[in-house]
Chain A
Amino acid sequence: MAAGVATWLPFARAAAVGWLPLAKKTMPKPPVDNSSRSDEILYVNVSGVRFQTWKNTLDRYPDTLLGSSEKEFFYNEDTQEYFFDRDPEMFRHILNFYRTGKLHYPRHECIQAFDEELAFYGIVPEIIGDCCMEEYRDRKKENQERLAEDTEANEAMDAPLPPHSTPRERLWRAFENPHTSTMALVFYYVTGFFIAVSVIANVVETVPCRPPEGKVKDLPCGEKYQLAFFCMDTACVLIFTFEYLMRLFAAPSRCKFMRSVMSVIDVVAIMPYYIGLVMPENEDVSGAFVTLRVFRVFRIFKFSRHSQGLRILGYTLKSCASELGFLLFSLTMAIIIFATVMFYAEKGTKGSTFTSIPASFWYTIVTMTTLGYGDMVPNTIAGKIFGSICSLSGVLVIALPVPVIVSNFSRIYHQNQRADKMRAQQKVRLARIRMAKKGTTNAFLQYKEDQQLGDRDSDSTALCVKNRSAFEHQHHHLLHCLEKTTNHEFTDELTYSELCMTESVGFRTSRSTSLSSQQGAQNNSTGCCPRRARRRAAMRLANSTVSVSRGSVQELDTLQVKTTSIPPQNRSSLNAQPRDLKLNCGDQDFTAAIISIPTPPANTPDDSPPPSPAPGILRNTRATAFTHETVKISSL
């Protein structure tokens, strides 16, 4: 809950007077609040700069350094103030967070220094307000990328081989980094040379050479020196095939390699030759054969292994694909519009070249790109007017705003990124809010558990009471009052879905004597339990009998009817359940600074061994992100 809401809690509790005349049951007793009501001013000295604030302000976030008792470690008895040997500039922002509830990121500060300060004061960076969140994220990502690049560069450049590498690994390395060994470099240059030779051969074989004796017509060189070109082609293809097979052999993951772009280019480059070898010299298929030869030009793309620039270009095009697509789409729209108009404008004239709308496409494109071949010209006045509009709009659409469009698309692209980031953040925020809500609910359920226990064992209540803040006490009391007013109890999703499931089975719990009659009549309502299947997996808790307070089902698959009596040694198992359920719902400490942590209750000091892993686990998950793991706790 937000900080300032704590100040409204007295109001919410006072408003509960409105429930009193309606309550079906008696209200629970309110918690005793022994803390002094008066507010005091605290002095905080940060490297000589003195800050003063109300104690209540700092108490708003009890899981940060300043809000918890951790600050007592920094208390200076002589000067009666809290002394921190940290940056006073940053502390200003930290303190503002307590005051306003929003954490701002100062743009002129280094991101790492800021992160360190936040870590010191126990504040989670996710709390940064919307105004500064994007800047913070961008800077952080930039910083991380830079660090990653540095480490990568350090590794990649001439790093010595791991001592026990197989020949296969060495081969792969040689292919990927030609600079590592002389052999690799030689191979690299040889393949580059052959690619160039192959491309030049493809080009030259179409140039017309002097015809041999006895003929008049010019022949392309390819046909004149057919054998020579064929030999050269064969040599190149052999080299390429050898290289491809070597790479395939050396690749750590063959499937991934085969799917990569470069290997596809390789295959496409050498395939025509083999297909040409296989195919017979038929007149029918020679057309297709000629088409295949076109693919030989793809060998030029093999250069991209050798050129960083080509790779960057390819990557840029790929990343701008959506913008280019949009440009193409708008151009297509304009072309279709103008082609249609021109066609109908020129329909009447005799001998018009605008024979159909697709035929007018050519005119439109040539005009819009201001090429103006002149093979198709309008003759009518309307055609000329529309033609001129077409060419003007072509200038506008293509030539003039190309820089504007480029920068526009760049802006749109970034905006889109921002929108996606926002949406992702929104999802995270919603998830956080959901978790916070669950956390408060679970805390309340935990509180009720303790109340039950507390009725029997006064020691444990004392311990439990100590671990909970006054705010929590009062809030739980408020929720308890609501329960009593309506004579229904809060449960969490797990038990709720179990209840839905067991309704059809007529499951009887120890307390709901009147329920069984209701439940028998109903069939399983599918609408209320959407997540039943998932939760089932989470329910394989340790063997223990059902608890009194909530009728939560332990072993649903066995579908037993549980007994009513609860042996006393199951108290620790009672302790186990809510924690299990809490952990199943993901940890409540995710955004520690926002929500109040429902601290685990103290282990009941009785004969049964307390479920000791639980508090440790809870503490660990505090530091990590939200996890969905279910934790098995063996009770007893």
Chain B
Amino acid sequence: MSTMNLEGLEMIAVLVVVVVFVKVLEQFGLLEAGYDDSVEDELELSAVRHRPEGLEQLEAQTRFSRKELQILYRGFKNECPSGVVNEETFKDIYAQFFPQGDASTYAHFLFNAFDNDHNGSVSFEDFVMGLSILLRGTVQEKLIWAFNLYDINKDGYITKEEMLDIMKAIYDMMGKCTYPVLKEETPRQHVEVFFQKMDKNKDGVVTIDEFIDCCQNDENIMRSMHLFENVL
């Protein structure tokens, strides 16, 4: 019994000495522990730099004047020196306008609507072209833009689920402290109302033609389309 103990413990003791020896050797660099993680991770891609097209081209493509483009670009560049906005920054900026609620979901949809080439970042051209449609476009163009926003998967149809997502996102922006108190089924009811109005052939989806037709027949909507024209 005692010999067993001795032997067992001796083994352990010898093992410990060997381990210490190995560690010491490692310290002296004679044994490599095999560092797999390379230094390549250090060389992160530096911040993406993006320069917009020239002023003349943008002037031709959008309906803004030269001065307006200058002012827009200065503001844009100040906020995003790298020249592009990624989704996180976009969400942060948009959230600042709606302090009471949670604007992140809606900002996500908005980001997708602005990001025309779907590369995950909004460059100045995307930004300015979106703004050009919204502020200086014809009513038709604005409606097409709105349809594009609602159509989350960009397949040409607005389903009830997509509309419900959008509606929930908008109601999220209101936050909790509203009058009257927000209920669970309010967005759903709103979607029902919307679909009743827009879905002419009752097939459960709203196509772009249905949408544009219906909006053009609605006086309130047509009138409000001109609201934001003098924003810039």
A23 with B224: CB separation less than 8 A:
yes
Answer yes or no: B60 CB below 8 A from chain A CBs: no
The residues of A that contact B1 with a CB separation of less than 8 Å are 348
Answer yes or no: B38 CB below 8 A from chain A CBs: no
CB of B70 to closest CB in A, whole Å: 8
Tell me which of B149, B178, B186 contacts A490 (CB under 8 A).
B178
A385 with B17: CB separation less than 8 A:
yes
B2 with A348: CB separation less than 8 A:
yes
The residues of B that contact A4 with a CB separation of less than 8 Å are 75, 78-79
CA distance A413 to B171 in the complex (A): 47
A348 with B5: CB separation less than 8 A:
yes
CB of B44 to closest CB in A, whole Å: 21
The residues of A that contact B167 with a CB separation of less than 8 Å are 22
CB of A604 to closest CB in B, whole Å: 24
Count of A interface residues, CB-CB < 8 Å: 74
A22 with B5: CB separation less than 8 A:
no
Contact with B along A464-494 (1 / 0, CB 8 A): 0000000000110011011101101111110
The residues of B that contact A5 with a CB separation of less than 8 Å are 79, 93, 96-97
CB of B165 to closest CB in A, whole Å: 13
CA distance A512 to B181 in the complex (A): 12
CA distance A27 to B3 in the complex (A): 93
The residues of B that contact A33 with a CB separation of less than 8 Å are 230
B97 with A21: CB separation less than 8 A:
no
Tell me which of A16, A26, A486 contacts B228 (CB under 8 A).
A16
Answer yes or no: A93 CB below 8 A from chain B CBs: no
The residues of A that contact B171 with a CB separation of less than 8 Å are 486, 488
User: Contacts A18-B113, A345-B9 hold; do A488 and B180 have CB atoms under 8 A apart?
Assistant: yes
The residues of A that contact B230 with a CB separation of less than 8 Å are 30, 33
CB of B13 to closest CB in A, whole Å: 4
CA distance A26 to B221 in the complex (A): 8
Contact with B along A7-18 (1 / 0, CB 8 A): 111111111111
A481, closest chain B residue (CB):
B227
In A491-526, the 8 Å CB interface with B consists of: 491-493, 495-496, 499-500, 503, 512, 515, 518
CB of A608 to closest CB in B, whole Å: 26
The residues of A that contact B174 with a CB separation of less than 8 Å are 482-483, 486, 488, 490
CB of B227 to closest CB in A, whole Å: 5
Answer yes or no: A232 CB below 8 A from chain B CBs: no
B177 with A492: CB separation less than 8 A:
yes
Tell me which of A99, A347, A441 contacts B100 (CB under 8 A).
A441
Answer yes or no: A386 CB below 8 A from chain B CBs: yes
Count of B interface residues, CB-CB < 8 Å: 71
CA distance A8 to B71 in the complex (A): 11
The residues of B that contact A316 with a CB separation of less than 8 Å are none
User: Contacts A19-B170, A27-B227, A348-B2 hold; do A491 and B97 have CB atoms under 8 A apart?
Assistant: no
The residues of B that contact A7 with a CB separation of less than 8 Å are 74-76, 78-79
A11 with B127: CB separation less than 8 A:
yes
Contact with A along B135-154 (1 / 0, CB 8 A): 10000001101100110000
B110 with A13: CB separation less than 8 A:
no
CA distance A14 to B67 in the complex (A): 19
In A12-56, the 8 Å CB interface with B consists of: 12-24, 26-27, 29-30, 33, 37-39, 54, 56
Contact with A along B171-195 (1 / 0, CB 8 A): 1011111111110001000100110
Contact with A along B88-118 (1 / 0, CB 8 A): 0000011011111000000000100100000
B9 with A344: CB separation less than 8 A:
yes
CB of A575 to closest CB in B, whole Å: 20
Answer yes or no: A238 CB below 8 A from chain B CBs: no
B98 with A482: CB separation less than 8 A:
yes
Answer yes or no: A389 CB below 8 A from chain B CBs: yes
B142, closest chain A residue (CB):
A17
B13 with A10: CB separation less than 8 A:
no
B79 with A8: CB separation less than 8 A:
yes
Tell me which of B9, B134, B173 contacts A382 (CB under 8 A).
B9
CA distance A2 to B14 in the complex (A): 65
CB of A18 to closest CB in B, whole Å: 5
Answer yes or no: B16 CB below 8 A from chain A CBs: yes
B143 with A21: CB separation less than 8 A:
yes
A14 with B179: CB separation less than 8 A:
no
CA distance A13 to B130 in the complex (A): 12
A99, closest chain B residue (CB):
B78
Tell me which of B99, B173, B228 contacts A13 (CB under 8 A).
B228
Answer yes or no: A156 CB below 8 A from chain B CBs: no
B13 with A385: CB separation less than 8 A:
yes
User: Contacts A10-B131, A20-B146 hold; do A30 and B227 have CB atoms under 8 A apart?
Assistant: yes
CB of B126 to closest CB in A, whole Å: 11
A488 with B220: CB separation less than 8 A:
no
The residues of B that contact A348 with a CB separation of less than 8 Å are 1-3, 5-6
The residues of A that contact B194 with a CB separation of less than 8 Å are 21-22
CB of A505 to closest CB in B, whole Å: 14
User: Contacts A18-B146, A482-B174 hold; do A389 and B225 have CB atoms under 8 A apart?
Assistant: no
The residues of A that contact B130 with a CB separation of less than 8 Å are 14
Tell me which of B93, B135, B177, B211 contacts A491 (CB under 8 A).
B177
B114, closest chain A residue (CB):
A15
Answer yes or no: B223 CB below 8 A from chain A CBs: yes
The residues of B that contact A26 with a CB separation of less than 8 Å are 220, 223-224
A490 with B177: CB separation less than 8 A:
yes
B75, closest chain A residue (CB):
A7
Binding site for A on B (CB under 8 A): 1-3, 5-6, 9-10, 12-14, 16-17, 67-68, 71-72, 74-76, 78-79, 93-94, 96-100, 110, 113, 127, 130-131, 134-135, 142-143, 145-146, 149-150, 166-167, 170-171, 173-182, 186, 190, 193-194, 211, 215, 220-221, 223-225, 227-228, 230-232
Known: A17-B134, A56-B71. 16 other contacts (CB 8 A): A9-B97, A11-B127, A17-B142, A18-B145, A20-B146, A27-B224, A29-B227, A37-B232, A344-B9, A345-B9, A441-B99, A488-B171, A488-B186, A490-B179, A491-B177, A551-B179
Q: List 22 interface pairs A-B (beta carbons < 8 Å), by A numbering.
A: A5-B96, A7-B76, A7-B78, A9-B97, A14-B232, A15-B110, A20-B142, A23-B224, A29-B227, A38-B67, A348-B6, A381-B13, A385-B10, A385-B13, A385-B16, A437-B100, A481-B227, A488-B186, A496-B176, A499-B181, A500-B181, A550-B179
User: Nearest 3 A-B pairs (CB), nearest first?
Assistant: A7-B75, A437-B99, A348-B2
